[in-house]
């Protein structure tokens, strides 16, 4: 297995201090990969139009950072849903249509891809259960946070022992939305109006998806934090779907956030 020391994923102090040295995690940036052009760096998006061999090499580097083979890196075909899959040691590389994964099996890396949506990593250090979720606005509103926690509990996690961290994602100052978007949220819960602040454009507002996601985590009964990193302005470290759209570029890369229970 190749050793690559160029990857320097961001780590959460909350997850790192949870007390189980066998649980390892990283919010990977776009740095340290082999992709070129608009995908420059560590693009792990199988669904992108990047060269397949570059994407596979990048994914292998992520797995290698955990000291595990690529076949142990479990990801899903993300569809902005509240759906969660349970992964165990029989994982065979399949990518079911879902937006979160959980496991109690050592040696399996759970990864979620993002390019503005919120990657969330979960762990119960006491009971040895981990999870990863992709929470864009549809997933956050639809319940992917709560469903991931429930799936972890089904594997033996204790809700009161779970900690979770929201990784790099689009922040309020970069996320201007229109009136239909605002109405969609406040029609579900009028208190969600607090996550919108007026912009200079009539009827529009800035949406704080990060704050909403952390609130949903906390209301679900787990200790939560956010790295507070905005993907949109930080082109050196992060891919951003919204930035790509504003520039009229044809495609975009995806970064990965991943967590695993290491084998003894």
Domains of the chain are 13-171+210-261 (3.60.140.10), 172-207 (no CATH)
List pLDDT tens digits, range 113-170.
999 999 999 999 999 999 999 999 999 999 999 999 999 999 999 999 999 999 999 9
Nearest to 254 by CA among 15, 54, 95: 54
Give which of 149, 150, 141 is closest to 181, Cα–Cα. Answer: 141
Q: What is the pLDDT of residues 211-253, one digit of tens each?
A: 999 999 999 999 999 999 999 999 999 999 999 999 999 999 9
What pTM, to 2 d.p., does this model score? 0.97
pLDDT at 187 over 90: yes
Distance from C-alpha of 78 to C-alpha of 71, rounded to nearest angstrom:
19
């Amino acid at each position: 297995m190749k050793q690559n020391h160029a990857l320097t994923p961001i780590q959460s102090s909350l997850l790192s201090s949870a007390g189980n040295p066998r649980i390892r995690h990283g919010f990977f940036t776009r740095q340290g990969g082999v992709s070129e052009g608009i995908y420059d760096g560590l693009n792990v998006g199988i669904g992108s139009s990047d060269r397949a061999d570059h994407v596979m090499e990048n994914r292998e580097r992520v797995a290698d950072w955990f000291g595990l083979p690529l076949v142990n890196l479990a990801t899903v075909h993300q569809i902005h849903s509240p759906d969660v899959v349970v992964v165990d040691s029989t994982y065979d590389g399949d990518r079911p249509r879902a937006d979160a994964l959980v496991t109690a099996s050592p040696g399996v890396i759970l990864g979620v891809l993002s390019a503005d949506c919120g990657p969330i990593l979960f762990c119960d250090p006491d009971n040895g259960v981990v999870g990863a979720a992709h929470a864009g606005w549809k997933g956050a509103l639809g319940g992917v946070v709560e469903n991931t926690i429930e799936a972890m509990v089904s594997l033996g996690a204790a809700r009161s022992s779970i900690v979770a961290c929201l990784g790099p994602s689009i922040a309020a100052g970069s996320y201007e939305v229109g009136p239909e978007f605002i109405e969609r949220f406040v029609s579900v819960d009028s208190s969600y109006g607090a996550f919108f602040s007026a912009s200079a454009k009539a009827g529009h507002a800035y949406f704080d998806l990060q704050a909403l996601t952390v609130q949903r985590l906390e209301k679900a009964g787990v200790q939560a934090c956010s790295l507070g990193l905005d993907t949109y302005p930080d082109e050196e470290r992060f891919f951003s779907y919204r930035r790509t759209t504003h520039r009229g570029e044809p495609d975009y890369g995806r970064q990965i956030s991943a967590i695993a229970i290491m084998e003894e």
